[in-house]
Amino acid sequence: MNKKLPISCPSCSSELKVQSLRCDSCETTINGFYNLPLLLLLEQKEQDFIIDFIQSSGSLKIMAQKLKLSYPTVRNMLDELIQKIKNLQPKIS
Amino acid sequence: MITKLINPFRYIAGGYSLMIGIVILFFTALIGFLSNTHFPDIISVKTSSDFPFNYHIFQIFSNWIIVSFILYIISIIASNSKVRIIDIFGTQALARFPYLIVSFIGFSSSLNNLGKNLTRQFIQQGEPVELSVFTIVIAISLIFITLFLTVWLIVLMYNAFKISANLKGYKSILLFIAGLIISIFLSGLISNLLIQA
């Protein structure tokens, strides 16, 4: 089963933080208080878009062909994502 | 399916839509020439006396170039995205598809006869024309079909502008209306000059 990482609190919808990390090999557990990385704050489809974009060598034309969408549609999706990342950056810094 | 009919630009834009659009514009001019249907500005439709083929070609293409150019200028001023000229011109050309269908209406004499009849009744000009119920029904149907196709054209033009310029909400609506009004005025002016020439 592909488990989805929760990024917001199911109770109050606030952004969740990382409290604990565990090593599967030696069973060491680190406790702390960490922000989620910026990429994990994006929705799954947005993360997929970024991965596709990198795999397409940053070419919107190739992305448009892959997604079977027009060039301006894909460019608009990228621009929206850039704006969303800009809005998220002050939260995590 | 409905998305593809009212917003095909999600899937087609740039050079591909430009090629299809130019073919659509050419055939709109050709059919308009054969059916005596012409387009004195970017949204008006008229059936009237014979005009040469060159006139139809010039009118159709100048309408498209004017509206595309105006919307392009608006886009580069108002949009934060990098707007490609080929997207604006290509999608606006493809958006004119409903008027390819409209160019067929002149093949029916019903609208012309209704026009002549109304002219005779209200301003006492021209020869009296007898109208059958069938002719009236056909003429009214054609008016509604043309109206529907005009609305479709405007929706397509707006969606083409919105996607090509990456504009949203009230800003995109207001800018599009402004562009449309300027384009109607300019294209009408050029058509008048063309008729006078």
Reported ipTM: the value is 0.84
Show residues of chain A in contact with B168, CB under 8 Å.
none
The count of C-alpha atoms lying within 13 angstroms of the C-alpha of B3, restricted to the half-sphere facing its C-beta, is 5
* B140 or B128, which is more confident: B140
A61 part of contact set with chain B, CB < 8 Å = no
- Each residue of B153-192: pLDDT tens digit? 999 999 999 999 999 999 999 999 999 999 999 999 998 8
Determine whether the interchain pair B9/A70 forms a contact, defined as Cβ–Cβ distance below 8 Å: yes
Please answer yes or no on whether A71 and B84 come within 8 Å at the CB atom. yes
CA B36 to each of CA A51, B53, B62, B119, B183: distance values in angstroms, whole numbers, following the listed order: 55, 10, 18, 19, 23
- What pTM does this model have? 0.86
Give the pLDDT confidence score for residue B32 in this predicted structure.
93
pLDDT of residue A92: 64
Are A79 and B166 inside 8 Å of each other by CB?
yes
Give B147's contacts (C-beta < 8 A, 6+ positions apart).
Answer: none
Q: Is B166 on the interface with A (CB under 8 A)?
A: yes
CA–CA gap between residue B14 and residue B86 (Å, rounded): 5
Give contacts of B 71-100 with A, CB under 8 A.
Answer: 80-82, 84, 87, 91
Three state DSSP letters for A8-45: ECCCCCCECCEEEEECCCCCCEEEEEECCCHHHHCCHH
Could you please report the per-residue DSSP string of B40-69? SSSS--EE-S---HHHHHHHHHHHHHHHHH
A70, A75, A76 member nearest B12 (Cβ): A70
Which residue of chain A has the CA closest to B8?
Answer: A70
| Alpha-carbon gap, residue B73 to B75, rounded angstroms | 5
* Buried/exposed code over B22-45 (b: 16+ C-beta within 10 A; e: otherwise): bebbeebbbbbbebbbbbbbbbeb
Task: Tell the residue number behind the tokens 């999608």, with chain if given.
Answer: B91
Query: What residues of chain A lie within 8 A of the CB of B9, using their CB?
Result: 70, 72-73
User: In Å, how far is B179's CA from the nearest CA of chain A?
Assistant: 20
Whether the CB of A70 is below 8 Å from some CB of chain B: the reply is: yes
Over residues B28-49, the mean pLDDT reads 89
* Model pLDDT for residues B75-134, shown as the tens digit of each residue: 999 998 899 999 999 999 999 999 999 999 888 878 777 777 777 777 777 777 777 888
CA angle B186, B144, B42 (to 5 degrees): 10
For A1-55, what is each residue's pLDDT tens digit?
777 888 888 899 888 888 999 999 999 999 998 888 888 888 889 999 999 999 9
Which residue from A70, A75, A76 is facing B11, i.e. has the nearest CB?
Answer: A70
C-alpha to C-alpha distances, A70 to A9, A14, A55, B51, B146, nearest whole angstrom: 36, 36, 18, 38, 29
Residue A74's Cβ-side half-sphere holds a number of Cα atoms within 13 Å equal to: 23
Q: How confident is the model at residue A58 (pLDDT cuts 50, 70, 90)?
A: very high
What is the C-alpha separation between A24 and B70, in angstroms, rounded? 62
To the nearest whole angstrom, how far is the Cα of A51 from the nearest Cα of chain B? 21
